[in-house]
């Protein structure tokens, strides 16, 4: 077991459908602890960094404008093995392929945007989480 902190982003689809509280409750039910929470508008620069690994994909411009449709809610979430456990709770990137009972399976887009409008981002590893938390939270905002 290892105590970790992960970055969660409630994406604009979660915000516009008023699903932030419902999804956050699933994380709280697991016993995870909120260490930081804020509403943010994501700039082109921040998104270029955050999504550098998909910057050369044809769908990147669409993802960037989706992530700017509304502010997002960023959260630093702590818990034992929280990084892998949250990824399991989310389900796969493609919401249409995500099983019922997962967050993306229950709340993600099931139509043509299923691979993009998938409710939440969550860090995929210990090093990524450290870099992403620094990217989205200033010194003193994770408590
Ligand atoms: P994840 O967020 O599950 O770790 P990736 O890092 O591969 O997935 O992709 C980042 C985000 O880009 C996804 O969460 C999704 O919003 C979007 N995305 C990924 N693949 C596609 C695709 N084929 N078409 C449209 N959007 C995509």
CA angle in degrees (0–180, nearest 5) for 109-85-24: 55
**Strands 3-10 vs 120-122: parallel, antiparallel or unpaired:** antiparallel
Distance 93 CA to ligand 1 centre (A): 6
Ligand 1 binding pocket includes 116 (Cβ within 6 Å): yes
Ligand 1 binding pocket includes 59 (Cβ within 6 Å): yes
Q: Tens-of-pLDDT digits for all 143 residues of the chain?
A: 899 999 999 999 999 999 999 999 999 999 999 999 999 999 999 999 999 999 999 999 999 999 999 999 999 999 999 999 999 999 999 999 999 999 999 999 999 999 999 999 999 999 999 999 999 999 999 99
Q: Ligand 1: which of 54, 91, 128 to mutate, most ligand atoms within 8 Å of CB? A: 54
Ligand 1 binding pocket includes 118 (Cβ within 6 Å): yes
Q: Which DSSP category does 45 fall into?
A: H
Active-site residue list: 121
Q: Where are the domains of the chain?
A: 3-136
Whether domain 3-136 has CATH 2.60.40.10 = no
């Amino acid at each position: 077991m290892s105590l970790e902190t992960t970055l969660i982003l409630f994406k604009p689809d979660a915000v516009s459908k008023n699903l932030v509280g419902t999804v956050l409750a699933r994380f709280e039910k697991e016993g995870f602890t909120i260490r930081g929470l804020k509403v943010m508008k994501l700039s082109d620069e921040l998104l270029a960094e955050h999504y550098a690994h998909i910057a050369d994909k044809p769908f990147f411009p669409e993802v960037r404008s989706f992530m700017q449709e509304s502010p997002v809610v960023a959260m630093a979430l702590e818990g034992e093995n929280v990084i892998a456990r949250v990824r399991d709770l989310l389900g796969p990137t493609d919401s249409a392929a995500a099983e019922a009972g997962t967050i993306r399976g229950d709340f993600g887009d099931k139509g043509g945007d299923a691979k993009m409008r998938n409710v939440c981002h969550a860090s995929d590893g210990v090093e990524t989480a450290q870099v992403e938390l620094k990217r989205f939270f200033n010194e003193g905002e994770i408590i």
